[in-house]
Structure 1
Amino acid sequence: MLLDGDDGIVFRRLGPEEGSVLTSAIVAAYGSTYDVRWVYDADEVRARLTDGRYVSVVAETAAGELLCHMGMSTAAAGDAVGHAGQAVTLAAARGQHLFTRTKRYLMDWARDRGLAGMYSEVTAAHPYSQRANLAVGAKETGFLLGWIPASVANDAAAGAPRRRQSAAFFYAKLNDGHDRPVYAPARHHEVIGRTLELCALRGALADPPAGYTLAERTELRVDVNHDHNLALITVTVPGADLEEVVRARRRRLFHHDRLDAVYLDLPLVSPGTALVADHLEALGVSYSGIFPNHRADGDVLRMQSLHRIRITADDVVVASDHGRELLDYVLADLPAAATG
């Protein structure tokens, strides 16, 4: 627990028996529309808080009135990178910079426990959450176009059009990670190099070793998020048949499952990614950014493919010069049919 400053604000972690505090905060901001459904399940919240997969911190008045909530998920207790989310500042507390103060408290807690970093998807419907992330030292590493379903209603974005919204992806470094090669396609070297430098990541761009042989068959898994109406394809081994395999999966996901978007993660630790990623351009798959993915080994190159979604620069709000440059790059890489 931390008493911060002269205003009597208390910052602390929630115990497993206090999971209802999270649910109440989400309901206050989103009603029943929040697209991470487990936050409404008291038993699931309690289980995650108990086994360490979720850390929940709050800012309160001295009398115990909730002002702000911030959470962090890991795939398993002991993961090196956490996923920040469920950030809610109650209406009465806005204008007091409580988002940044609460996130700093969470980041300090995670840093002290040796986590390498923390990432988050931040709405691009308005700049407020992005500015708050920039204030705590987080940097944009990509844009997830069409990531947020139209069903989500956020009280901080009242008046925004009810259609799929995009998200800016932020990464906050907490501790040094390990040195590692980054086998990115040559076409994206410049933008990935800038991102690695800006985020102070210990990855170095590298060319595939001479004589490197691609695996014959691609190994991947597909996770469909029905709440978001999208899918994430995680490639663990990029093979010579990657374009063929992705073509078939993408067709099924769009035309049989009628999803709005498919995102594809390729492991940057594999030389195969540098050799085959550009082949996916013919399928309408374009650059999104670089991201951590616990199902792959290290950072990944994320690519995206949109179905029946048109994106323009006016649809996405950014809060920094780097964010604008990165968004321009992501939009320029989209196939013409996805822009308007």
Structure 2
Amino acid sequence: MLTGAIEAAYGQTYDVRWVYNPDEVGARIGAGTYVSCIAETPAGELLCHIGMSLAAAGDAVGHSGQAVTLPAARGQHLFTRTKRYLMDWAQERGLAGMYSEATAAHPYSQKANIELGAHETGFLLGWIPASVSNDAAGERTGRQSAALFYTKLNDGHERDVYAPERHRGIVAQTIELCRLRGRVAEPPADCELPPRSELHVEVDRDHNLALITVLQPGADLEEAVAGERRHLFHRENLDALYLDLPLERPATALVADHLERLGVSYAGVFPNHRTDGDVLRMQSLHRVRVKADDVAVASDHGRELLDYVLADLPRVG
């Protein structure tokens, strides 16, 4: 059913390619790393689909996606009702929360997430490839952006969060709004950076972008990221790069501000399964220009957060 729903809304342009392979979808469901929630007519005809991915079976935070409402069901708030059912299912099983990216080409999906109690935690500029064609988005060209949402389902663990001084205020605001159990803290006075950073680089060819997860920030982080960025943009010809810094490591408060010289700017707070908790996500775009008018928002908080993200972009000129 997932494949049929995606094809109905996106044709063959959806940027997560495994959804077109029913065997792969079935394997993920069987492994407990994907949950498919559907609404259908009494005759068994599909009306709405929402999925939730887990990095591993039993994870505490799910990634909601593959949300499709068929044309015949639009205007009935079926997306909201179906996602509420999935959220209740996840909450009963003890998940701490659920995050999702909602297209910023239009505000409709964002409004539905807000109705369900989700809050914006960031904006991923240029996240969606230009090749994606969504029948709800109208005629748009170029890469599109996505709003990142988090919905709290259960309490997570208490933890200290170490954000760089420049972004401490917006990180604290996000944590408070999403009711995360994190406390923004100063790094210990004796905190020292190890000589070398530990990075994990993942290239997403479907999106033509890369995600660099900083497992351990080190004194060489600026140099290490500069080298990866140069290779990914000029040798791999990627359009965008996203950099995740672990907020539960004190070293993050010491290194993130240095990355501004590389043209890396604030995106938001984001879960990352390769670290022990949430991350500060930074972003860098290559040959992609984003203006405020290109990004739709659905709340006053969303507008404030988007203004912050856009203001932090490197100046061109």
TM bucket (normalised to shorter chain) is: over 0.9
Residues 109-150 of structure 1 show CA distances to partners (whole Å, capped at 9, x for unaligned) of: 000000000000110000000000001000000000000000
Runs (5+) with no aligned partner, structure 1? 1-20
SS in 2 for 1:290: strand
How do 1:172-251 and structure 2 match up within 5 A? Answer: 172-251=151-230
TM-score normalised to the size of structure 2? 0.99
Query: What is the distance in 2 between the residues matched to 1:158 and 1:94?
Result: 16
Give the letter aligned to residue 153 of structure 1: S
Equivalent in the alignment of 1:265: 244
Query: What is the distance in 2 between the residues matched to 1:261 and 1:174?
Result: 31
2:28 aligned residue (38, 42, 48): 48
Query: What is the distance in 1 between the residues matched to 2:60 and 2:82?
Result: 21
Query: What is the distance in 1 between the residues matched to 2:30 and 2:193?
Result: 43
Asked if the contact 1:236/1:297 (under 8 Å) is kept, the reply is no
Query: What is the distance in 1 between the residues matched to 2:77 and 2:149?
Result: 18
How do 1:143-158 and structure 2 match up within 5 A? Answer: 143-158=123-138
SS in 2 for 1:32: coil
1:304 and 2:283 equivalent? Answer: yes
Q: Give % identity.
A: 74
Residues 220-256 of structure 1 show CA distances to partners (whole Å, capped at 9, x for unaligned) of: 1100001100000000100000000000000000000
Residues 63-110 of structure 1 show CA distances to partners (whole Å, capped at 9, x for unaligned) of: 212110000000110000000000000001000000110000000000
SS in 2 for 1:121: strand
SS in 2 for 1:154: coil
Equivalent in the alignment of 1:66: 46
Asked if the contact 1:84/1:120 (under 8 Å) is kept, the reply is yes
Residues 38-85 of structure 1 show CA distances to partners (whole Å, capped at 9, x for unaligned) of: 001111111001111000000112221211000000011000000000
Post-superposition offset of 1:215: 1.2
Post-superposition offset of 1:210: 1.3
How do 1:1-340 and structure 2 match up within 5 A? Answer: 21-159=1-139, 161-337=140-316
What number of residue pairs does the alignment pair up?
317
Asked if the contact 1:25/1:69 (under 8 Å) is kept, the reply is yes
Query: What is the distance in 1 between the residues matched to 2:66 and 2:119?
Result: 19
Post-superposition offset of 1:337: 2.2
Query: What is the distance in 1 between the residues matched to 2:231 and 2:69?
Result: 40
Query: What is the distance in 1 between the residues matched to 2:254 and 2:28?
Result: 39
Query: What is the distance in 1 between the residues matched to 2:41 and 2:152?
Result: 29
SS in 2 for 1:156: coil
Asked if the contact 1:310/1:337 (under 8 Å) is kept, the reply is no
TM-score normalised to the size of structure 1? 0.92
Post-superposition offset of 1:324: 0.1
SS in 2 for 1:271: coil
Query: What is the distance in 2 between the residues matched to 1:150 and 1:85?
Result: 19
SS in 1 for 2:316: helix
Residues 272-300 of structure 1 show CA distances to partners (whole Å, capped at 9, x for unaligned) of: 10000000000000000000000111000
Post-superposition offset of 1:185: 0.4
Runs (5+) with no aligned partner, structure 2? none
